[in-house]
């Protein structure tokens, strides 16, 4: 779930007021998970449908990231608004892999061979990549290596899995082909909470899956947990955290639960103020417990056990320029254009998009996207968001070297507002950093949306969830 949940800003998720000279009421803490800027709901049809050859012309290509998206899951979790469908009728995974192969060839051709092309990292996400059989995973790795040109045995390879699909044969393929990180969506070790989040699973099955992953010898295990589930208490949350810690995972992601349009939980109407209070309390409880256990906080959601080398992208840093996304839910990033296919959450819409993708013969053009730069305001916002939402903060010298200014020049109202709220670490400037305070990190999902540009905000508001 690392490319995690997000949705368009709705009317009830209005951003805080800025620039009025007085401190506005505290915004709601859970508005939007900013894992990529801008969100796909801000993408539009590209009238000129540029050729990928033009899109990639002049872009650095010596350290690209490769992302392959598998849009299939066994069940649809109640909280999930990622691009995925339940199950795959006869032959659909085969047709999907064939389309992936055609797309990989088209992108590789567009990248050309005038300059060397090299990938520095790879990831299989979804959906659930391990929905594919062991044989299909072999083919997926072949596509990444032989068609796209990534050397999976030489670069970090991160893969997402669910407990039921983390089987011995699939894990053996992934380990053999070079997987360095396996991320398991557990969400809760309490069976009643898993049911309440519409992700029914037995604790024994989760524990067995974790055992198989450890036996497979993949160096980094990440476990995803969710807080804010109906009925969840500090005690039951601590129980899940302790159960996860028993496996000594190298990474843990703690996600606040969101209720989004078009999802199974989207029909509920929680008491939002009480729910915010519950989520903030559970967040602080989880953060404090992990820090006491020696974990380092990388971002609001991500915690890492010191020692093992990082084997995947840091939270909020997965959208660096130079990413090749393959598959119908994958985004690609260049310094000038972000592009992808259509996006939906509703089951019927998702199925139609997957079918269109598998029927596509010509992948040589970009049809949907967002023109981001390289000059102007948007790259600055993206850089600020990418860096500020990480616990390590933003290097002021690096920002100045890239843009010739400092964030306080470019975003005076927003940063003054954050400072007034106590969200900035006042001592960080001495170290040449702009950094969030612990409370600022806790409010990442309010602070991030406050940095969206008016243009992105307008496009997201105009997006009709489907
Ligand atoms: S396993 Fe659940 S959370 Fe993960 S992509 Fe599938 S439906 Fe979404």
Categorize the per-residue pLDDT at 290 as very low, low, confident or very high, splitting at 50, 70 and 90: very high
State the alpha helices, DSSP H only, in 122-184: 134-142, 168-176
| Ligand 1 centroid from CA 399, angstroms | 36
| CB count in 10 Å sphere of residue 267 | 10
Q: Which residues line ligand 1 (CB under 6 A)?
A: 1, 73, 76-77, 80, 82, 84, 126-128, 162, 185
Q: Per residue in 89-138, pLDDT tens?
A: 989 999 999 999 999 999 999 999 888 899 999 999 999 999 999 999 99
Count of Cβ atoms closer than 10 Å to residue 406 Cβ: 16
Within 10 angstroms of residue 247's Cβ, the number of other Cβ atoms is: 17
What the chain holds in terms of domains, given with CATH numbers, is: 11-34+375-462 (no CATH), 42-304 (3.20.20.70)
pLDDT tens for each residue of 318-374: 445 699 999 998 999 999 999 998 888 788 889 999 999 999 999 999 999 999 988
CA of 32 relative to ligand 1 center, distance in Å? 18
**Cα 79 to averaged position of ligand 1 atoms, centre (Å):** 8
Task: Tell me the residue length of the chain.
Answer: 466
Distance 73 CA to ligand 1 centre (A): 6
* Atom of ligand 1 minimally distant from the CA of 76: 7
Q: How far apart are CA 178 and CA 194, in angstroms?
A: 31
User: Which residue has the least CA distance to atom 7 on ligand 1?
Assistant: 76
Average pLDDT, the chain: 90
Q: How far is the CA of 199 from the centre of ligand 1 (A)?
A: 9
Atom 3 (ligand 1): residue with closest C-alpha? 80
How many whole angstroms from 311 Cα to the centroid of ligand 1?
A: 22
What lies within 8 Å, CB to CB, of 234 at 6+ separation is 281, 282, 285
pTM of the model as a whole: 0.91
Phi, psi angle pair for 396, to nearest 5°: -65, -35
Q: What is the pLDDT of residues 176-199, one digit of tens each?
A: 999 999 999 999 999 999 998 888
The ligand 1 atom nearest the CA atom of 80:
8
């Amino acid at each position: 779930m690392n490319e995690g949940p997000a949705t368009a800003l709705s009317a009830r998720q209005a951003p805080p007021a800025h620039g009025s000279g007085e401190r506005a009421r505290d915004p709601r803490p859970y508005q939007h998970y900013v894992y990529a800027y801008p969100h796909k709901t801000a993408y539009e049809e590209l009238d000129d449908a540029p050729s990928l050859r033009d899109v990639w012309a002049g872009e650095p290509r010596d350290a690209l990231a490769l992302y392959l998206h598998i849009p299939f899951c066994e069940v649809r979790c109640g909280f999930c608004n990622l691009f995925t469908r339940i199950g795959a009728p006869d032959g659909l995974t085969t047709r999907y892999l064939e389309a992936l192969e055609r797309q990989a060839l088209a992108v590789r051709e567009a990248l050309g061979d005038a300059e060397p092309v090299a990938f520095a990292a790879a990831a299989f996400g979804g959906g659930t990549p391990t929905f594919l059989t062991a044989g299909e995973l072999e083919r997926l790795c072949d596509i990444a290596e032989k068609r796209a040109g990534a050397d999976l045995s030489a670069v970090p390879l991160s893969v997402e899995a669910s407990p039921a699909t983390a089987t011995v044969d699939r894990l053996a393929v992934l380990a053999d082909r070079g997987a360095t990180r396996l991320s398991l969506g557990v969400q809760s070790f309490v069976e009643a909470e898993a049911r309440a989040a519409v992700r029914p699973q037995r604790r024994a099955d989760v524990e067995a899956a974790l055992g198989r992953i450890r036996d497979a010898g993949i160096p980094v295990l990440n476990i995803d947990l969710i807080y804010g589930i109906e009925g969840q208490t500090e005690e039951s949350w601590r129980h899940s955290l302790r159960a996860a810690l028993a496996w000594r995972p190298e990474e843990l992601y703690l996600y606040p639960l969101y209720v989004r349009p078009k999802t199974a939980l989207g029909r509920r109407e929680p008491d939002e103020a009480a729910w915010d209070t519950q989520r903030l309390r559970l967040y602080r409880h989880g953060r404090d417990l992990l820090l006491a256990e020696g974990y380092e906080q990388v971002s609001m959601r991500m915690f890492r056990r010191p020692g093992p080398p990082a084997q995947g992208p840091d939270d909020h840093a997965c959208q660096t320029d130079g990413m090749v996304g393959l598959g119908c839910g994958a985004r690609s990033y260049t310094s000038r254009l972000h592009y992808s296919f259509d996006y939906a959450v509703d089951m019927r819409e998702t199925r139609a998009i997957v079918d269109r993708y598998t029927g596509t013969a010509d992948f040589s053009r970009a049809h949907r996207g967002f023109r981001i730069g390289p000059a102007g305001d948007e790259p600055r916002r993206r850089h600020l968001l990418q860096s500020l939402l990480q616990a390590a903060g933003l290097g002021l010298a690096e920002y100045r070297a890239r843009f010739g200014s400092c964030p306080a020049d470019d975003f005076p109202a927003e940063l003054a507002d954050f400072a007034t709220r106590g969200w900035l670490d006042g001592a960080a400037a001495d170290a040449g950093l702009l950094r969030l305070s612990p409370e600022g990190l806790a409010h990442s999902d309010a602070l991030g949306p406050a940095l969206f540009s008016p243009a992105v905000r307008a496009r997201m508001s105009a997006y009709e969830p489907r």
